Structure 1
């Protein structure tokens, strides 16, 4: 009898437990009354940089998909807003203007069906010139590494507003949603100086030896993958040491291209440091004066290669 009572108690306890679990996993919630939102899925980032050397032809361009309970049909407008950002060394970030401004508004009619999904899509382009004008600047005031912050604001037919200030982290960053509502467009300075060039050198001076007249040879600029715009060069003295019986050896000197501003850095096998000044430049000739901390120097004319002139704007 004692065993029967014990077994009956276990059975009742199990039934109560299972009943409580069932109530937990299937709550009585009116799902049909849930409010649903809307977001803009990023389908393609066609262009998200501005070329410092070609602002006239640069653009910010996206393809977006409107996702909501009505396959994108709740969207009324999408505001495209922008502001300019610059990092001031020792100061911090400077914004122009302080708050973003409207640069364009997409209408519901701009969204159209597509063959890849049931949601409506739109593609747009904002020329760099339009963004620059919208923030109250001119192309001459733009610098390499500047950033244009583009922010989207989706307004729907229910009077609701969705943007970067009320989107969840998951919707903004998860690959499925891909809806940050904000896109940072950097002003970049593409650099393409890698190659082997002919040079001539004159006006060489040193306390260790001399090399009167002119010498010539080739130098190779090798791009450094880890540092965009940096190029390791074959010989920081451009053959000057050969004149008095020495050789370059294990020296490591580079030329750096920062939006067209050329500098030299690094050191030779004796730990002497290197710098340079751009004397003049045109499509055919880049003329530099190199100098090391041992007082050695030379005037070098580096010839461009056929079909690849020195870029305009080098200095």
Structure 2
């Protein structure tokens, strides 16, 4: 009986100890050194429009998260640097190090109705950013990038920035605190639609087409390539003039900040290019040429109520 009773007691002791939730060694949770970060609540504007730099801006809404619901934030420094990719060379930065463009103070953070943390909203115009890096609007090109970096300084003498933020805090959707934002200079393109055209000066080794051809062509935006448009006939009716048809050709017109190019090939494998002769809000005049020596001059009329942008 004694052995039996001792066995039961020993088993119970093992069972109870196995269910115990303990931490070894003991961690003083109340003495943890907590940090701070800036959760991105809204990316109000994170691109600069190349065609409208004067009205473009970088704008965010941020939430200060810390042990005091954002009250430890003393200042947030915002720095900027211009970046351009030089083909065959690499990235070129102007200036060589980020420069201070704006400083937010504790008073810029205020309570909100959606959370207990303090929030702030700010905006920096493209003009301010361009001036801060020592450039002028005329120096800016489509595809340029402005890198904005944030430095949070708290009232404990600590700084949090892109250099010491962890990957989880910077990239995870819940935290979304990268301390760095890339503002691209974009060139919105809106050339999609159906245009009326007239074609003249059509010639090739296979035959010519005297006079003028009139018709319509459709520019269809290619979703996977912003600024690129497939067109219904790369010869703008020239082949029809001497008994051929466009068929399965795949030629597109590309708009890169107003610079037009023609790429792709026809059903025979000939490649295409174009040269813009003139451009007004009412019409675009250009010549097309393929690698088989076929060519023509096209006058494209603007769609009703939709003037053409400056093109070249």
Q: TM-score, normalised by structure 2?
A: 0.95
**Aligned pairs, number:** 312
**In the TM superposition, what is the alpha-carbon distance from 1:35 to its structure 2 partner?**
1.2
| Structure 1 residues 14-37: Cα deviation after superposition (integer angstroms, max 9, x where no partner) | 736854774744753222211111
Question: RMSD of the TM alignment (CA)?
Answer: 1.9
Output aligned runs, 1:14-53, within 5 Å: 15=13, 19=17, 22=20, 24-25=22-23, 28-53=26-51
Structure 1 runs of 4+ aligned residues shifted over 4 Å read 7-11
**In the TM superposition, what is the alpha-carbon distance from 1:138 to its structure 2 partner?**
1.0
1-structure distance, mates of 2:33, 2:61: 27
2-structure distance, mates of 1:69, 1:132: 37
Q: Determine if the alignment matches structure 1 residue 58 to structure 2 residue 56.
A: yes
Which secondary structure does the structure 1 equivalent of 2:209 belong to?
A: coil
2-structure distance, mates of 1:235, 1:94: 40
Which secondary structure does the structure 1 equivalent of 2:170 belong to?
A: helix
Which residue is 1:264 aligned to?
A: 262
Q: Which runs of 5+ in 1 are unaligned?
A: none
**In the TM superposition, what is the alpha-carbon distance from 1:70 to its structure 2 partner?**
1.1
2-structure distance, mates of 1:27, 1:52: 59
Which residue is 1:309 aligned to?
A: 307
Which residue is 1:242 aligned to?
A: 240
2-structure distance, mates of 1:152, 1:239: 56
2-structure distance, mates of 1:31, 1:245: 85
Which residue is 1:277 aligned to?
A: 275
Which residue is 1:90 aligned to?
A: 88
2-structure distance, mates of 1:181, 1:260: 33
**In the TM superposition, what is the alpha-carbon distance from 1:9 to its structure 2 partner?**
6.5
**In the TM superposition, what is the alpha-carbon distance from 1:305 to its structure 2 partner?**
1.0
1-structure distance, mates of 2:89, 2:283: 38
Alignment counterpart, residue 101 of structure 1, candidates 92, 99, 102: 99
Which secondary structure does the structure 1 equivalent of 2:156 belong to?
A: coil
Which secondary structure does the structure 2 equivalent of 1:210 belong to?
A: strand
Q: Which runs of 5+ in 2 are unaligned?
A: none
Q: TM-score, normalised by structure 1?
A: 0.94
2-structure distance, mates of 1:173, 1:221: 38
1-structure distance, mates of 2:18, 2:99: 55
Which residue is 1:157 aligned to?
A: 155
Which residue is 2:183 aligned to?
A: 185
Output aligned runs, 1:167-246, within 5 Å: 167-246=165-244
